[in-house]
Amino acid sequence: MPELPEVQALAESLDRRLRGRRIAGLTVASVAALKTYDPPVAALAGRTVAGVRRHGKFLDLEADAAADGEEPSSLHLIAHLSRGGWVRWRERASDTRLAQRGPLAARLRFDDGTAVDLTEQGTEKRLALYVVRDP
């Protein structure tokens, strides 16, 4: 399980890489990882990353208000890596379809072709993702 200094370093690294990038979409391979349904993950598409920070051991990716005005407030993608979770930066997002079984829980794609993969090793799948309006 990542400790607080590791989560802080990860949040700072992701903030430097992701701030200002436009989200192309979030694909969730592990249905068990997604803990919320409203707002839907599709609501993240088209938004720009305003920043990444942490709340305890939770990572908080803030996406600004939608450009189309449908969702006037920002959204947050909250992730808890649990015991075996990893965040992997991809310079090029793979075109391979995500399998429902396996270590890859979700892929956050950006319009420039880069991506962030959230993976989890082991049999106890406890990685958690939340899309919320207010963390």
The CATH number linked to 24 is: 3.20.190.10
Query: Number of folded domains in the chain?
Result: 1
**CA nearest neighbour of 70 among 49, 51, 44:** 44
CA-closest candidate to residue 115, choices 125, 124, 107, 126: 107
Query: Which SS3 state, helix, strand or coil, does residue 5 take?
Result: helix
Question: What pLDDT sits at residue 62?
Answer: 95
CA dihedral 84, 87, 88, 94 (to 10 degrees): 90
pTM of the model as a whole: 0.86
β-bridge pairing 115-120 and 58-63? unpaired
48, 64 contact by CB (below 8 A): yes
Higher pLDDT, 72 or 15: 15
Domain that holds residue 126: 4-132
Tens digits of residue pLDDT in 10-62:
999 999 999 999 999 998 888 778 888 889 999 999 999 999 999 999 999 99
